[in-house]
Amino acid sequence: MTASALNPATDGKTAAVIIRKVGIIGAGQMGNGIAHVAAQAGYRVAISDLKAENFDKAIDTITRNMTRQVNKGLMKDVDMRASLDRIEFAPGYENFADCDLVIEAAVEEEAVKRRIFQELCPKLKKGTIVASNTSSISITRLAAVTDRPEKFIGIHFMNPVPVMQLVELIRGIATDDATFAETRRFVETLGKSIAVSEDFPAFIVNRILLPMINEAVYTLYEGVGTVDSIDKAMKLGANHPMGPLELADFIGLDTCLSIMQVLHLGLSDSKYRPCPLLVKYVEAGWLGRKTKRGFYDYRGDKPVPTR
């Protein structure tokens, strides 16, 4: 179903925003995944990134992933070409002037996100909905730096976006009903399922998942088990599809640390204290798959545990 088929009518009280074009800030793993599913659902998409070459890499990734869908019979080649034609590069935020929704998918650092929103909002039309794909940071706090807190919302996609079915929706204290309703409709047109979370640190998924990963790092740090034994124990003993240390590498150890710091600071509970070993890996620049080293070394033909 395309975007145009699902445009809502007004409710008689508040003019509903009709989303036709989506802006995305950040062409990385999350940004290109969001662009993929939005373009596939029929939306026009503009991607902004600090470097034009990152957009080119994003298009290559989207093309590769869509080709995989075509080969599996999940998508027609003609639909893939049409989807790719709907994606364009936005050199600056002024290129978002005609967007109805802009989703920030930048690094998980509050200062960076706040700066983005302060620079972005003056370039947008009055009715544009602004969203953050943050996995842990307060939506209310981010909304407060904008000129439209009532039209600000959290849309937390799971990674990898084209594969994972869940999206968390998070209302800030000022988010109005029309914004929430239209955002919900938008996510549903992408074929995703929705979990609505209150605006507390790390929301639902990461509030549960990241402390488990952090505890796995503590288990390694304290010598209870090796990388291999910890991941094997959880895969075969708890039927997890991926071990917690392998999953940490996939997420990015810097992101894991950022989320644990948000939990620790936001909830003031020692049980959320980031493991010192996790801090050390991040300090070393061993961030997981994206840097070729984390709890596993990915530089060879086969991942090898680093401890």
The pLDDT tens digits of the residues spanning 240-272 come to 999 999 999 999 999 999 999 999 999 999 999
Going by pLDDT thresholds of 50, 70 and 90, the confidence category of residue 8 is: very low
Percent of the chain at pLDDT above 90?
Answer: 93
Residues 136 and 272 grouped into a single domain: no
Mean pLDDT, the chain, whole residue set:
94
Domain of 48: which CATH number? 3.40.50.720
Domain final residue, candidates 133, 163, 197: 197
The pLDDT tens digits of the residues spanning 265-306 come to 999 999 999 999 999 999 999 999 999 999 999 999 999 999
Query: How deeply is 58 buried, as exposed, middle or buried, from its count of CB atoms within 10 A (0-12, 13-18, 19+)?
Result: buried
Residues 139 and 88 grouped into a single domain: yes
Residues 10 and 132 grouped into a single domain: yes
Whether residue 5 is predicted with pLDDT greater than 90 in this model: the reply is no
Residues 119 and 211 grouped into a single domain: no
Domain final residue, candidates 197, 229, 245: 197
Domain final residue, candidates 166, 197, 228: 197
Residues 78 and 210 grouped into a single domain: no
The b/e string for 152-181 (b: 16+ C-beta within 10 A; e otherwise) is bbbbbbbbebbeeeebbbbbbebbbebbbe
Per-residue pLDDT, 303:
97
Whether residue 10 is predicted with pLDDT greater than 70 in this model: the reply is no
Cα gap 67→30, rounded to integer Å: 18
Catalytic residues: 135, 156, 168, 206
Range of the domain at 286: 205-305
Residues 126 and 269 grouped into a single domain: no
Output the pTM of the full model.
0.88
Residues 83 and 218 grouped into a single domain: no
Residues 148 and 211 grouped into a single domain: no
Domain of 230: which CATH number? 1.10.1040.50
Total domain count, the chain: 2
Residues 11 and 139 grouped into a single domain: yes
